[in-house]
A and B are shown apart, each in its own frame.
Chain A
């Protein structure tokens, strides 16, 4: 509560001083500190800094109803229920006018994502060619860029459609947001890595893998893209399966180096289909999986991008313990926060975890599933995995499951103990009937949202956790 002090025309305004505003003919009274809570650069903070020469309220020619909502937001840091009368776009525009967009973002962004308590809140459906071929949510603010039918559509943190850029590619199969406004895209059908700028809606550069000394290097197509703060990594694959990873400087968009060139004549040296850069160690993790008549085979490799050396690798079948023979991995992902490698075994469907700080010849710990109702849920073929917020999300056919850790003590889990088979618990996120919607094709997290696309299903599911109970009145 602000103590009532009589307003004087003193030049120095105290944060507890009261200020009157006239918004569109409706009078409001609040305090300087409330107006300034929107940040020093906001219009409201600027108003609060005006020396008071007369006692007439400041007039703002905007809608008073929306201002009521935004003033509540500034006072209590949460949006009142009356905000539902306005569209997200209206609120965002009005918040932008007053310069308090960051407050609105804070109040409307979803709480920390907990897979065991998440539900579908929206489905983003691009208006045309609605089958997403690739998407990225890596910006981390809850926004998503969707590649569909050769176009890239961007949806902002509000999940409102912001822009669509048509590229020269007809089928974008990999996309990476290398700068806030620049997307790197690649296609299975066309050669090269291409950069598109959203602010100008145009193509701003291309990278081709060329080697004048080797005639087999031509028409190299991009299969995976990852980025670090300074570089972009793209794996290229030629028609005759020669492949490599090009390291591209982010600011100049020029090739810096080439790492891991290989002939691609067997599973051990085919192109990486999935890449992740680990900020903590500066290591690039790449994996490749192929399946044929004799089951799955592939590799996981860790590169040091500066030297181009392989730091660690495992090949399956080949490495690993004999008890897991014939059960090579079908899918791999990295938890960059916890530095764990996860794999899904193709035959048993088990999840294997390896601590990246302690990798050896067989670092895998196979997680035991204690929940009897989940045991018979099939093998690991046709599965996708994504690690987000220290949880592993697995899509098996149409079912979405989350592997999460049980907090054991008040201070969380002690890492020193290493891990045991029972470290992670598995839970289904979707209901039985939801899993019939279509096979899950890709899962990616960003901004406390999980985005899920399904094969031959238009649009992308958006999952969020919520503190709201979602109680449905039936009276």
Chain B
């Protein structure tokens, strides 16, 4: 009940004209707050209009024809920036539509799905998002505030930031292999068996634009990977005949081509040039693009990792992987470290971005003796970094690697600190195991994962923030 429910409206005292206090009548119940609180909602919201109308007319209480109980929750949100616990009595969807009416949905997003609330050590399996139909997810993409796109078969299902609402569109793809969210309603999608990178409007379900790479053989251009920086969109293309590949750079907003880097034409038997980049990661701290690709042949898995300077179009650093090539590789901006998981050993390795160029740059974080036994324990492992942590999936489990900052600084020969990384297994005993994890993504305060042959997306978040 609001604070003034007991007092009759005519007995309610009007504040003095010069007062900061504002009374609002919502659906028959009176609320009192201050101009400052109302103005926190931003100039375009209904609250600031209420505040204005209350100031212009001193003797009249503004009336809002809405539900008073929901209003009291949104007023608490306005006052404290957090939802009161009594909000749990309501469905989140009610709060969202009410906040949209008042024009303060962004406050709700900030309080419930803020990326700063991501707590890597406190993630628990909290939710399952079922996907209709028979196809299991092939790619997922997230936005900063935790809206999620899931490609399954020829369809893409988009969930809003609260994961309460969804919509599904049909695409021309047979299966989407790479997906990147440009905004909550626009995504870039590509497939290794379909020509062109498509920019899809996920609300109406049509193709906004198709980006093609004009290769020499005039064959189709399949998409091997998509990446983005705040301004640029990167796409790794391979020609349909698989005899050339390239990384195209587009402007993220206008989608016009900016430059082309790493164009390879394959004439001889040089394997390295025949490997298109299958992962593109922007390293904003260094203004570099990390591109990696690997190829599995009779002599084992070979691959390369390159760091590209987009402006000059040059490779700044390159490593060719012949023994214990990466199964997956990622880069952590905040740690300045490239991590890989070895395909033979299944162990996690790292190399410091500040100290590149060594003969064997990798430092093994596990049992390095496993490298020699020709097994392939790392096949299918995924590694992703988020914030200051690195998440590595092994089968159905996830290892969480984090850096331990040591107080006593012991200098190594090259002048850099010896870095200490330690791992933990994520989840409780009952959440461990399960089918092999196929994709990992992060958005808002949540971690998303899909598993092989499972028609759902698992959502992990910290319980205190669970919606």
Contact = CB atoms under 8 A, between A and B. Distances in A.
A binds B: yes
A4 B127 contact: no
Given A1-B50, A116-B168, A371 B174 contact: yes
B134 interface: yes
Interface string B179-206: 0000000000000000000000100111
A157 to B, nearest CB: 22
Given A467-B166, A474-B125, A72 B67 contact: yes
B97 A78 contact: yes
B154 to A, nearest CB: 5
Interface string B107-124: 000000000000000001
A3 B135 CA distance: 52
Contacts of B98: 76
A408 B57 contact: no
A357 interface: no
A80 interface: yes
B207 A408 contact: yes
Interface string B41-79: 000001001100100010011111111001000000000
A86 to B, nearest CB: 14
A2 B466 contact: no
B127 A76 contact: no
28 contacts: A1-B65, A3-B63, A4-B53, A5-B60, A18-B65, A20-B28, A28-B28, A29-B25, A71-B67, A75-B67, A78-B97, A80-B90, A117-B132, A117-B166, A404-B170, A406-B154, A406-B205, A408-B172, A409-B206, A427-B170, A428-B135, A429-B133, A430-B134, A469-B165, A470-B130, A472-B129, A472-B130, A473-B126
B134 A3 contact: no
Given A81-B93, A472-B130, A475-B466, A427 B153 contact: yes
3 closest A-B pairs by beta carbon, nearest first, are A81-B91, A29-B28, A117-B168
A56 B459 CA distance: 53
Most buried by A among B62, B65, B127, B128: B65
Interface in A1-28: 1-6, 18, 20, 27-28
Contacts of B463: 475
Interface string A73-112: 0011010111000000000000000000000000000000
Contacts of A432: 134
B434 interface: no
Secondary structure class of chain B's binding surface, majority of residues: mixed
A425 interface: yes
B164 interface: yes
A469 B28 CA distance: 34
Most buried by B among A2, A18, A427: A427
A34 interface: yes
B19 interface: no
B124 A76 contact: no
A4 B61 contact: yes
Interface string A339-375: 0000000000000000000000000000000111100
User: How big is chain A's contact interface, by range?
Assistant: 35 or more
A6 B126 contact: no
Nearest to A472: B128
A371 B176 CA distance: 12
User: How big is chain B's contact interface, by range?
Assistant: 35 or more
Most buried by A among B46, B132, B207: B132
Nearest to A404: B170
Given A3-B53, A406-B170, A431 B126 contact: no
Interface stretch (B155-163, B294-302, B356-364, B372-380): B155-163
Interface string A272-304: 000000000000000000000000000000000
Nearest to B160: A469
Contacts of B166: 117, 466-470
A31 B65 contact: yes
Contacts of A31: 63, 65
Interface in A384-430: 404-410, 425, 427-430
B7 interface: no
A29 B204 contact: no
Given A117-B167, A474-B125, 13 more contacts: A3-B62, A4-B62, A29-B28, A71-B27, A80-B67, A370-B154, A371-B154, A427-B154, A427-B155, A430-B134, A470-B130, A471-B459, A474-B126
B435 to A, nearest CB: 15
B245 interface: no
Contacts of B165: 467-469
A114 B132 CA distance: 11
A314 interface: no
B413 interface: no
Contacts of B171: 406
A473 B129 CA distance: 9
A407 B207 CA distance: 8
Given A5-B60, A427-B154, A75 B133 contact: no
B455 interface: yes
